[in-house]
């Protein structure tokens, strides 16, 4: 399967599996999301590595009156966030869920599939603390291990039964050009992200 189609299909499947397995807090289950994405992309023929660390994303209110960086950082134990790297792309569903816990009604955030070679922009920041590689073993309690096995099984079952290419809830954040296209079409997040990135000295004010 072509990489772009594999990513889109994996995003759709993982999102549905998270919502079904963890209906009350699916947006906080980044470890499950990362393992699900890694498994599906690998099944579709693309080696994927899980990384752990810190991540923050630009957020803006629906009417553009409030904005700032929000995300996952400085965990007391383990890692604050987990995501996947495959084919030179940083792949993460987590930022798309950030509006759920935002302190203000936030605009929808795209799904991340960013070309790492292009460098990270001011509106998307990741700090890798640990790279687990493509053959990641889950070291945890038996309960979580069993729950993860069930979740992965559900993802694979959905992949086998899925017909056609899924329609994603948001566009893919792949490059600055993708942001510019979405901004031209009126996307609130994209317009805010470009304004944020153009602020003088913004690079020096970022957490990492």
Read out DSSP for 118-169? G---TTEEEEEEEEEESS----S-HHHHHHHHHHHHHHHHHHHH--SPPPPS
The predicted-structure confidence for 81-122, as pLDDT tens digits, reads as follows 999 999 999 999 999 999 999 999 999 999 999 999 999 999
- Helix (H) / strand (E) element for 7: namely helix 3-21
The mean pLDDT value for 169-193 works out to: 97
- Name the token pair of 197: 């990135």
Q: In the prediction, which pLDDT does 78 show?
A: 82
The mean pLDDT value for 38-62 works out to: 96
Least confident of 36-50, 64-78, 89-103, 172-186: 64-78
Q: Rounded CA gap, 187 and 176, in Å?
A: 14
What band does 64 get if pLDDT is binned at 50, 70 and 90?
confident
Quick check: 77 pLDDT over 70? yes
Q: In the prediction, which pLDDT does 76 show?
A: 83
Q: In the prediction, which pLDDT does 9 show?
A: 96
The mean pLDDT value for 55-77 works out to: 93
Q: In the prediction, which pLDDT does 178 show?
A: 97
- Name the token pair of 21: 């397995």
Q: In the prediction, which pLDDT does 140 show?
A: 66
> Quick one: which of 187, 164, 79 has its CA closest to 126?
79
**CA 172 centroid distance within chain:** 10
Quick check: 139 pLDDT over 80? no
Quick check: 169 pLDDT over 90? no
Task: Specify burial of residue 84 (Cβ count, 10 A radius: 0-12, 13-18, 19+).
Answer: buried
């Amino acid at each position: 399967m072509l990489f772009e189609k594999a990513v889109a299909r994996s995003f759709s499947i993982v999102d549905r599996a998270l919502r079904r397995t963890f209906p009350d807090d699916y947006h906080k289950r980044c470890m499950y999301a990362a393992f699900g994405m890694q498994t599906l992309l690998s099944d579709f023929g693309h080696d994927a590595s899980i990384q752990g660390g810190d991540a923050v994303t630009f957020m803006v209110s629906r009417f553009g009156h409030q904005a700032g960086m929000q995300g996952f950082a400085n965990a007391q134990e383990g890692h604050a966030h987990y995501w996947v790297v495959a084919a030179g792309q940083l792949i993460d569903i987590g930022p798309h869920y950030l509006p759920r816990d935002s302190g203000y009604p936030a605009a929808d955030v795209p799904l991340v599939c960013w070309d790492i070679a292009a460098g990270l922009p001011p509106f998307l920041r990741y700090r890798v603390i640990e790279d687990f590689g493509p053959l990641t073993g889950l070291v945890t309690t038996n309960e979580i291990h069993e729950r993860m096995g069930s979740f992965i099984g559900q993802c694979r079952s959905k992949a086998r039964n899925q017909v056609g290419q899924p329609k994603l809830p948001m566009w893919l954040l792949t490059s600055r050009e993708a942001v510019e296209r979405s901004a031209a079409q009126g996307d609130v997040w994209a317009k805010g992200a470009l304004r944020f990135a153009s602020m003088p000295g913004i690079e020096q004010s970022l957490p990492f």
